[in-house]
Structure 1
Amino acid sequence: MNRVLTAMLGIATAGVLAACGSGPAGQSGDAAGGEQITMGFSQVGAESGWRTANTTSIQDAAKEAGVDLKFSDANGKQENQISAIRSFIQQRVDVIAFSPVVRTGWDAVLLEAKNAGIPVILTDRAVDTSEPDVYKTFIGADFVQEGQWAGDWVVKEFAAAPGPVNIVQLEGTTGSDPALERTSGFAKAIGVNPNLKVIASQTGDFTRSGGKQVMEAFLKAHPDIDVVFAQNDDMGLGAVEAIEAAGKKPGTDIKIVAIDATHDGMQATADGKFNFLVECNPLLGPQLMDIAKKVVAGESVPNRIVTPDQTFDQAQAAAALPERKY
């Protein structure tokens, strides 16, 4: 009888230990053992074609990688993202990833995730934080470089202009990482030629309707616009609608340079309505899942992972369109 009781006690103890798992706080036993991990992901919203492609890439990659994805759409509001991240912490997910709506205001919630032992990965957009080691890595494009490429094209295109070149800028969401850094990169690039002047700059919030509305106002206030710098394709496409409605020809009467290189933007470039296009690749899903598995396993990863981009003129866009994935 004593031997039977001892055996039963050993089995029960083993069961308790197995249920506790051996990973750090916030990490399930299965995840620590290399099995399925659970990821909480908070997306900015669905404000553009780029964002839709990015969401699809993440969801498809999670299925392919066997990652249990808990997805939340913030609808463009930081408070929604903070609530979602706190919910992920309460659910004890293995890893949290998010694309921040804006750059600042994340210290408290990131510290909460750190204290819970849940690693955080930033995708597409960076944050400013005074707290050390509150995220493992940032995967995304070099937004400053994108702005510089756009500005470099304007410098080259108008190198022989005899007088002032009037530029209007359609900015992204106020306070967001891409809006801040694309503005900075563009300004630095065109600064080499004093003839290049940004005469008006306003946010279109990365939406097509916003781009159209702002461009309509620009055309009324400034009848002599030479160039539009749109910080994403959707705002640029909205500007095309406004320019055409005003009786002018986009790409000819007013040059347009945009960033993203989604299918619609590539088509506009191939059609000559955009003059130059800078890519920002949204297909980050497979890379995110690979990095997430490494982070959960405790492997070291680079603290900054830059996704490669390229640029397109009209001929290059036309050639790339047939096989474009987004």
Structure 2
Amino acid sequence: MSTNFRRAGAALFAATLTAATLVACSSEQAPQGGGDGGGESAAASDTIVLGFSQVGAESGWRAANTKSIQDTLTTENGFDLKFSDAQQKQENQIQAIRSYIQQQVDVIAFSPVVETGWDAVLEEAKAAEIPVILTDRAVDSEDDTLYESFIGSDFVEEGKRAGDWAVEQYDGEGYKAVELQGTTGAAPMIDRQQGFADAIAGSDIEMIDSQTGNFTRTEGKQVMEGFLQKYDDIDLVFAHNDDMGLGAIEAIEAAGKVPGKDIKIITVDGVKDGMQALADGKINYIVECNPLLGPDLAEIAKKVVAGEEVEKRIVTQDEAFDQEAAKAALPDRQY
């Protein structure tokens, strides 16, 4: 019998209590989690079979996020993790989720590539009585019963903190800013843009251009190269993540300018490469987005399977760093 309390039928439970032979034959029940689960059900092994679909491997942040999940959801911690990489494609995630439903896993978790277009597959999971947990990114759905909980940062607040710092430092200097957006349609892209725009509204910082760099260093560099060719008066870059900011540094240096001085740079994430660039003065400010979501996911998954109530929205705690704070944090940085 699966650990998933939602699929534990009352009749089967009663039969188990009255017929010891059913206990003896439990190894003959269909295994959870697909063909590599060793034929042992989740209940029999006290193991939670969890299917996780990751966005991809687009950045240092995502690599740290994946490592946290894989390091936490281990056999020793009571999990059988089924992991898939969507390679930045929503259709791959939908296919993975449907595969997890077919395998009858106990829990499905995923970090959505984009916000919209999930209702159909999440309704399939709900019909199969498999709980869903969102990590890092939200979905845009009017039906919040399609998932149990959403664990992640407040992306609007991240953008606002970045914009507030920009206004505090540079308002009154007539700065021209450009924006390196994340993946179009992704929750962090939408929310960080909104938060930053709201924060600089009313200041004399002017956003003169904004384009997607898809959260990657390569595309961040390419977009920044285009900005530098198009404008000769850029004062500030707001990058939705460190990797695009690091790509912008390469483009700025190739153009003969000094990042952090000639052109100020503000980013979001706080991965080691970004923090090192901040400590070196090439980035001016970083708002953290904590990728270490594995422990939170494990805790919520165990509660959901046990039938306990969980918070619908769990906001992770993030910091922000200037140069001196980055220097102090780097020696102990986990990601």
TM-score, normalisation: structure 1: 0.91
Change in CA separation of 1:173 and 1:10 when aligned onto 2, cut-off 3 Å = closer
Provide, for residues 227-276 of structure 1, a one-character-per-residue CA deviation record: whole Å limited to 9, x for no partner: 00000000000000000000000000000000000000000000000000
Asked if residue 232 in structure 1 is aligned to residue 233 in structure 2, the reply is no
Name the amino acid aligned to 1:106: W
Structure 1 residue runs of 5 or longer lacking an equivalent are 1-8, 22-27
The corresponding residue for 1:181 is 191
Name the amino acid aligned to 1:176: A
Change in CA separation of 1:48 and 1:13 when aligned onto 2, cut-off 3 Å = closer
Deviation at 1:129, TM superposition (A): 1.3
The corresponding residue for 2:108 is 96
Change in CA separation of 1:244 and 1:17 when aligned onto 2, cut-off 3 Å = closer
Deviation at 1:139, TM superposition (A): 0.1
The corresponding residue for 2:311 is 302
Cα separation, 2, equivalents of 1:307 and 1:34: 31
Cα separation, 2, equivalents of 1:318 and 1:142: 25
Deviation at 1:12, TM superposition (A): 4.0
Deviation at 1:131, TM superposition (A): 3.1
Cα separation, 2, equivalents of 1:143 and 1:156: 20
Contact 2:29–2:41 (8 Å) recurs in 1: no
Name the amino acid aligned to 2:64: A
The corresponding residue for 1:113 is 125
Deviation at 1:113, TM superposition (A): 0.2
Change in CA separation of 1:299 and 1:217 when aligned onto 2, cut-off 3 Å = same
- Of the three residues 284, 300, 308, the one matched with 1:291 is 300
The corresponding residue for 1:191 is 201
Contact 2:133–2:147 (8 Å) recurs in 1: yes
Asked if residue 39 in structure 1 is aligned to residue 50 in structure 2, the reply is yes
Cα separation, 2, equivalents of 1:143 and 1:186: 10
Cα separation, 2, equivalents of 1:10 and 1:242: 72
Change in CA separation of 1:11 and 1:141 when aligned onto 2, cut-off 3 Å = closer
Pairs within 5 Å for 1:1-326: 12-13=21-22, 15=24, 31=42, 35-63=46-74, 64-161=76-173, 164-193=174-203, 195-326=204-335
Deviation at 1:209, TM superposition (A): 0.3
Deviation at 1:14, TM superposition (A): 5.0
Contact 1:137–1:305 (8 Å) recurs in 2: yes
Structure 2 residue runs of 5 or longer lacking an equivalent are 1-17, 31-38
Partner of 1:322, secondary structure, is helix
Bigger mean CA deviation after superposition, 129-138 or 275-284: 129-138
Cα separation, 2, equivalents of 1:273 and 1:14: 64
Misfit runs of 4+, over 2 Å = 9-21, 28-34
Cα separation, 1, equivalents of 2:25 and 2:121: 32
The corresponding residue for 1:5 is none
The corresponding residue for 1:25 is none
Cα separation, 1, equivalents of 2:245 and 2:110: 26
Partner of 2:298, secondary structure, is helix
Contact 1:31–1:296 (8 Å) recurs in 2: no
Deviation at 1:35, TM superposition (A): 1.2
Cα separation, 1, equivalents of 2:158 and 2:19: 62
Aligned residues: 310
Larger Rg: 1
